[in-house]
Structure 1
Amino acid sequence: MLLDIEEHIVTRNKKRVHVRGSSEFPQLILTFKNHYAQKYSHTSLKDHIYHVGKFIGYVQRHFIGVAPLHSIHDCKKFTKSMVVSYEEHLVERMHLDQIKKSTLNRVLFSMKLFLDMLSTLKVNYIRYIIPQSLRAQANRSNEFVNLEEVHVLLESIEKSSSNSKIRNMCIVLLIMELGCRPIEVANIHLDDLRLSERLITLHSVKSKTRTLKMSKDLTDMIHEYLHFTRSLCPVEHNNLFVTHRTRSPITSQMISSMFSHSNKISFGKIRFSAKSLRHTYATNALDNLNDFDQVSESMGHKHRRSTEWYIHRSVQRLLAKTLPINPLNRLNEV
């Protein structure tokens, strides 16, 4: 399926060269983007860039002597009063019901990332901490996937004429069975696999490294992908999953696009994402009374509160429609 949309992705990106907020301060935004490229996904980074562009624009418009802001070294002109002024501006908008508190929190976090970058690059040393009163948990959806929908999606991929269908089935099964993040799937290397032991190691900036047990079905599917697809055209890099056309490593954005495209083929609309499968994995694991810390570790959660969220969302009438499996049965075999 991914093969069918890769050309569409390239064409779309050619039409939209600039990320929102990047055209007015290209050098500053480029520096910010490169600084955090390995830490955040494409979608998250795009939102941070947009917010940072708004912050820089506000400072340039409201403070005399700051403009122009062409390079990162021009940010030496930034002061703490400018940061406080922007924070107060956002708080006023929140009180006027122009933005939600969760939005305010995300914007301030993006600004903090920018200021932290300036400090790391030894350009400016403004230390900023989001006030406790302005912190808010971002809105999170309670997404669940029933078994029938997963079967429909997998059958649709299997019946397709795409040269990437085995790879795409591996990706869906990995996320469904192990609850991993799309970016972790994109980062899997060949030496992260120990197929004889049915083990796979996942890497993430958020959760570092963890090793999980795979089912025999998933292991066999990866074997088939390696034998019939991955080995056909040797590549210089060591990434497990590659694009069919260019043989370059896939990205988390491509995985998200594959899910969207496959959903539209299967259901005529987007019913669930890769994140939905991860949510389903977590909720079922907790509902099956597995050890809390073990679930948290298998999910790659850095903080316990990330796992606790699934407990609060564990509504029985929704769980009745989720995947009827105990995902950690295989983890216990490690």
Structure 2
Amino acid sequence: MLVIDNFLRYLKEYKNYSDLTIKSYSIDLREFSEYIKKNITSVTKEDIKKYLNYLFIKEDKNKTVSRKISTLKSFYKFLKENDVITINPASNIKYPKKEKTLPKFIPYNELESMINVSKEGKFGVRNNLIIELLYATGTRVSELVSIKLNDIDYDNKSIRILGKGSYERTVFYGDYVSELLDIYINGLRNELLGSKQNVYLLLNKNGDNITTRGIAKIIDNIIKETSIKVKVSPHTLRHTFATHLLDNGCDLRSVQELLGHKNINTTEVYTHVTSERLKDVYFKSHPRGRL
């Protein structure tokens, strides 16, 4: 539909949203359009409520429903501001209550197991660098695949990251990553690149910049070779980065800055994770706690 296409173009050209985010908006809007079976510009508040009820019957998670509501709110706000509609049917739609879930993270011994396995094989240096970068910097996977060579400050061991909403921040890395970068950039990366030109740091086997899905697949393959039983995604390493920093005395405000959270409330969830860990340690270790 033309109005949807115009909205998606606006997100790309004016809001600078990533292709992955725009794809998510597109899927949400087309799913909604298929459900209501009427002109999407003639939708009422009642139509949206019926759709949300359908999602809950379908047992979509609250987080998924909230994302779809956010999509509809953004879309109809865009239509209203551009005089396509006179009344925004989504303006007073309420979000469902958030499900309280704590971020999953990897204990350090299991992380070391991942790191060791990642070194194996033809692409070991690159895969090892991916794991080390995710853990060392706490970047989102979308940010990781967007790192360009000129974003890296080798002298200061830092990387310029363009995060959500074009918010720029600096992340840091240590000696492990520094050494891996040198080996990868001057070795395997040149082999993968061949005669091509590419400004991005991480490349796939064809010399093209690697995708978020490619990173997820690499991590899945690494996990299969370890004894780790839980599901591990690139975002799990971001959670691990934050949790380990707090466990080792880093203050919450600094973790917020490093993660690129605009609101410290988003970062505070990690304090609950570390509190749960401390509670577990207490009951396992204290003489009276074990009674």
Which digits, 9 at most, give the CA deviation of each residue in 1:23-48, with x for residues without a partner?
Answer: xx6x6666665554652463x55554
C-alpha contact (below 8 Å) 2:133/2:177 kept by paired residues: yes
Higher RCO, 1 or 2 (CA under 8 Å, sep at least 6)?
1
Count of residue pairs brought into register by the alignment? 276
Deviates more, 1:222-231 or 1:205-214: 205-214
- Say whether 1:107 aligns with 2:68: yes
Deviations along 1:110-168, one digit per CA (max 9) or x if unpaired, are 222333454577655654665475343356453010122222222222122x2x22111
Partner of residue 144 from structure 1, selected from 105, 110, 127: 105
Classify the secondary structure of the residue corresponding to 1:272.
coil
The letter for the 1-side match of 2:136 is E
> Would you say 1:55 and 2:32 are equivalent positions?
yes
SS where residue 197 of structure 1 aligns? Answer: coil
Q: Is the 8 A contact 2:138 2:237 kept in 1?
A: yes
- Distance change in 2, residues 1:83/1:284 (3 Å): farther
Q: Which residue of 1 aligns with 2:17?
A: 39
Distance 1:269-1:294 versus aligned 2 partners, 3 A rule: closer
Alpha-carbon separation, structure 1, partners of 2:264 and 2:124: 36
Partner of 1:16: none
**Residue from 295, 298, 302 that aligns with 2:258:** 298
Question: Which sections of structure 1, spanning at least 5 residues, go unmatched?
Answer: 1-24, 67-74, 322-334
- Residues 173, 319 of structure 1: CA spacing in aligned structure 2 closer, same or farther, 3 A cutoff? farther
Instruction: Specify every segment of 5 or more residues in structure 2 that has no aligned partner in the other structure, as ranges.
Output: 282-291
Amino acid aligned to 1:203: L
| Deviations 1:219-242 (CA, angstroms, capped at 9, x unpaired) | 110011011022342532311111
Task: Summarize deviations over 1:28-72 as a string: whole Å, max 9, x none.
Answer: 666665554652463x555543331232123334xxxx3xxxxxx
RMSD over aligned CA atoms reads: 3.3
**Cα distance between partner residues in 2 of 1:204 and 1:142:** 20
Q: Give the corresponding residue for 1:175.
A: 134
Q: In structure 2, the residue corresponding to 1:159 is in which secondary structure?
A: coil
- Contact 1:182-1:274 at 8 Å conserved across structures: yes
Aligned counterpart in structure 2 of residue 317 of structure 1, from 277, 287, 291: 277
Q: Which residue of 2 aligns with 1:215?
A: 174
Q: Distance in 1 between matches of 2:271 and 2:93?
A: 24
Q: Is the 8 A contact 2:158 2:170 kept in 1?
A: yes
* AA aligned opposite 1:39: Y
Judged with a 3 Å threshold, the aligned counterparts in structure 2 of structure 1 residues 236 and 209 are, in CA distance, closer, same or farther, namely: same
* Partner Cα distance (2:270, 2:234) in 1: 16
Distance apart, 1:169 and its partner CA: 0.9
Pairing 1:193–2:152 present: yes
In 2, the alpha carbon distance for the partners of 1:318 and 1:48 equals 40
Alpha carbons 1:207, 1:301 under 8 Å: kept: no
TM-score (norm 2): 0.79
Match for 1:239 among 200, 208, 231? 200
**Residue 8 of structure 1 corresponds to which residue in structure 2?**
none
Q: 1:125 to 1:241 in 2, by over 3 A?
A: farther
